[in-house]
A = this chain, B = another copy of it.
Amino acid sequence: MANLDMMRRLQEPNSTKIVLLVMDGLGGLPREAGGPTELEAANTPLMDRLAKDGVLGQIVPVGPGITPGSGPAHLALFGYDPIEFDVGRGVIEAAGIGLEVNEGDLAARGNFCTVDAEGKITDRRAGRISTAKSKPLVDKLRGIGLDGAIAEVEVLREYRFSLLLRGPNLSPNIEETDPLTTGQPPLPAVGLDKASEHAAKLVNDWVAEARRRLADQPAANALTLRGFSTDPNLPKFKPIYGLDPACVAVYPMYRGVSRLVGMKVINFDGETPADEFAAVGEHWQRHDYFFIHIKKTDSLGEDGNFDGKAAFIEQVDQAISGLLDLNPDVLAITGDHSTPSRMRYHSWHPVPLLLWAPETVRSDSATAFGESQCASGGLGTFASAELMPIMMAHARRLQKYGA
């Protein structure tokens, strides 16, 4: 039986509260052979105490060797098989930036690019123009009229933007228009089946007008579109788990994925871990599952900043007492994937996991939270999508299976 069906069948009410604390890209690598990872180098007395009292393990987001994007990595943490629920990039990024993706809407990820006089791409990223420079360009693309759909656009980051078409009959089986190389013109949108031809025509109409509006730009004078996708209509968190879930996240992407599974996204002031934990406290009575997303561990990893990532983990550790004061019944501290600062990128390495549940945890011999101790932790190594059932169990929210 699939994970989610099992949860639907076994879940039972309780008043317990679950907290999932995700430090994005938490997993790391030693700077030099034999040395500590970022997490191991960080001085984290509170998390180490939780590790002693709790149990450690490793989680594998998608599969051994597979480096996950943030979308699938988070779906897995929410208990959704990230291969079965293969949500398109267009939708995740649109939802992430705060565009409301409704059933039937068609989303795509756009890149500004530079083309020469013959229309051939000379720079697929338009000189990597900044977000500040992209914003007025995206504003130019607002309100393009289409015969049969309404188009919305939002800037994502740097030269990237999100395009959303709302209207009837928008099938997403459309070939990406990025030729993935320079020296070629952007490709037309081509419907790969009969049902998608209508949407492909609308996309081409939109692109034609967008190109007219960008024609006089020095760098971003054209665009390509990728990841055409519609609302994946994911099964919702609450009926699956019987939990009333809330998301506390600063970045739109993670708020977007949470929204796709039906979480309430909490608005709050500030953006430090302490601010996020305070927001959890303010909403503590209204929900029984809190997903907290902390971004900077990943960003610092992508910057190759070993010391910065370690120092930021220390900052999370200091703030964590604010979370413990709430007395959650189950607290899992982990990442969505690894982002070793040595690699400056997401990686496939398993993600360290700390599970703390004072009433029910079977502790191991761990003395501190770190990759090496997690690798021999009492929970072993398992798929990220199995974490939800384990948290549900420790929250005493699952009935026995079978007589």
Question: Quick check: A109 and B360 within 8 Å, CB to CB?
Answer: no
Alpha-carbon distance A34/B3, docked complex (angstroms): 32
Docked complex: A362-387 residues within 8 A CB-CB of B: 362-365, 371-372, 375-382, 386
13 additional A-B pairs beyond A29-B362, A68-B401, A227-B403, beta carbons within 8 Å, are A6-B83, A30-B363, A66-B398, A67-B399, A72-B401, A86-B402, A92-B402, A93-B403, A348-B398, A350-B380, A364-B372, A365-B376, A375-B378
- In the assembled complex, the CB of A315 is this many whole angstroms from the nearest CB of chain B, namely 24
Could you say which residues of chain B place their CB within 8 Å of the CB of A400?
67-69, 346
Categorize the interface residue count of chain A. Answer: 35 or more
Alpha-carbon distance A58/B71, docked complex (angstroms): 30
Question: Quick check: B380 and A66 within 8 Å, CB to CB?
Answer: no
- In the assembled complex, the CB of A50 is this many whole angstroms from the nearest CB of chain B, namely 12
A154 at the interface (CB under 8 A from B): no
Could you say which residues of chain B place their CB within 8 Å of the CB of A389?
63-66
Question: Which 10 pairs between the two chains have the least Cβ-Cβ distance?
Answer: A65-B389, A380-B381, A89-B403, A69-B402, A65-B393, A72-B402, A375-B378, A64-B386, A65-B390, A348-B393
Residues of A within 8 A of B (CB): 1, 3, 6, 10, 27, 29-30, 33-34, 37, 53, 58, 62-73, 82-83, 86-87, 89, 92-93, 109, 227, 340, 343, 346-350, 358, 360, 362-365, 371-372, 375-382, 386, 388-394, 398-403
- In the assembled complex, the CB of A55 is this many whole angstroms from the nearest CB of chain B, namely 8
Alpha-carbon distance A82/B93, docked complex (angstroms): 38
Residue of B nearest to A87 (CB): B402
Could you say which residues of chain B place their CB within 8 Å of the CB of A388?
65
